[in-house]
Protein backbone atom coordinates (compact mmCIF):
# COMPACT_ATOMS: atom_id res chain seq x y z
CA UNK A 1 0.00 0.00 0.00
CA UNK A 2 2.71 2.44 0.95
CA UNK A 3 4.48 1.95 -2.39
CA UNK A 4 1.27 2.71 -4.27
CA UNK A 5 0.62 5.76 -2.10
CA UNK A 6 4.13 7.12 -2.65
CA UNK A 7 3.75 6.65 -6.41
CA UNK A 8 0.34 8.31 -6.38
CA UNK A 9 -1.38 5.17 -7.63
CA UNK A 10 -4.60 5.95 -5.80
CA UNK A 11 -6.79 3.67 -7.93
CA UNK A 12 -4.75 0.69 -6.71
CA UNK A 13 -5.01 1.85 -3.11
CA UNK A 14 -8.76 2.23 -3.50
CA UNK A 15 -9.06 -1.19 -5.14
CA UNK A 16 -7.19 -2.90 -2.30
CA UNK A 17 -9.30 -1.09 0.29
CA UNK A 18 -12.50 -2.17 -1.44
CA UNK A 19 -11.25 -5.75 -1.66
CA UNK A 20 -9.85 -6.18 1.83
CA UNK A 21 -11.57 -3.57 4.00
CA UNK A 22 -15.02 -3.56 2.44
CA UNK A 23 -14.89 -7.21 1.38
CA UNK A 24 -16.07 -6.53 -2.17
CA UNK A 25 -15.54 -9.07 -4.93
CA UNK A 26 -13.31 -8.57 -7.95
CA UNK A 27 -16.27 -7.89 -10.26
CA UNK A 28 -17.71 -5.22 -7.96
CA UNK A 29 -14.36 -3.46 -7.63
CA UNK A 30 -13.73 -3.64 -11.36
CA UNK A 31 -17.12 -2.11 -12.13
CA UNK A 32 -16.71 0.66 -9.55
CA UNK A 33 -13.22 1.62 -10.74
CA UNK A 34 -13.90 1.02 -14.45
CA UNK A 35 -11.12 -1.57 -14.72
CA UNK A 36 -11.20 -5.13 -16.00
CA UNK A 37 -11.74 -8.00 -13.61
CA UNK A 38 -8.36 -9.32 -14.74
CA UNK A 39 -6.67 -6.07 -13.66
CA UNK A 40 -8.23 -6.39 -10.21
CA UNK A 41 -7.35 -10.09 -9.96
CA UNK A 42 -3.73 -9.32 -10.90
CA UNK A 43 -3.53 -6.55 -8.31
CA UNK A 44 -5.02 -8.81 -5.64
CA UNK A 45 -2.55 -11.60 -6.49
CA UNK A 46 0.37 -9.16 -6.38
CA UNK A 47 -0.71 -7.78 -2.99
CA UNK A 48 -1.24 -11.25 -1.53
CA UNK A 49 2.19 -12.38 -2.78
CA UNK A 50 3.94 -9.34 -1.27
CA UNK A 51 2.16 -9.84 2.05
CA UNK A 52 3.15 -13.52 2.03
CA UNK A 53 6.78 -12.58 1.33
CA UNK A 54 6.78 -10.07 4.21
CA UNK A 55 5.38 -12.70 6.58
CA UNK A 56 8.02 -15.22 5.52
CA UNK A 57 10.75 -12.61 6.03
CA UNK A 58 9.35 -11.90 9.50
CA UNK A 59 9.49 -15.66 10.21
CA UNK A 60 5.91 -15.78 11.44
CA UNK A 61 4.27 -19.14 11.98
CA UNK A 62 2.15 -20.30 9.03
CA UNK A 63 -0.70 -20.72 11.51
CA UNK A 64 -0.95 -16.93 11.85
CA UNK A 65 -2.35 -16.46 8.33
CA UNK A 66 -3.11 -19.91 6.86
CA UNK A 67 -4.90 -18.36 3.87
CA UNK A 68 -1.57 -16.90 2.71
CA UNK A 69 0.20 -20.22 2.41
CA UNK A 70 1.81 -20.90 -0.96
CA UNK A 71 -0.42 -23.06 -3.08
Asked if 18 contacts 27 with a C-beta cutoff of 8 angstroms, the reply is no
In CATH, what class is 2-68?
Answer: mainly alpha
Q: How far apart are CA 42 and CA 36, in angstroms?
A: 10
The C-alpha angle 67, 17, 45, rounded to 5 degrees, equals: 45
The pTM for the full model equals 0.79
- Domain map (residue ranges) of the chain: 2-68
pLDDT of residue 44: 96
pLDDT of residue 71: 53
pLDDT of residue 23: 96
Contacts of 43 (CB under 8 A, 6+ apart): 12, 15, 16
Mean pLDDT value of segment 50-56 = 86
Mean pLDDT value of segment 30-58 = 93
Amino acid sequence: MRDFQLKGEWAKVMALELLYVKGWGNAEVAARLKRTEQDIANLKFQAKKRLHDHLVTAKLSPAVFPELQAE
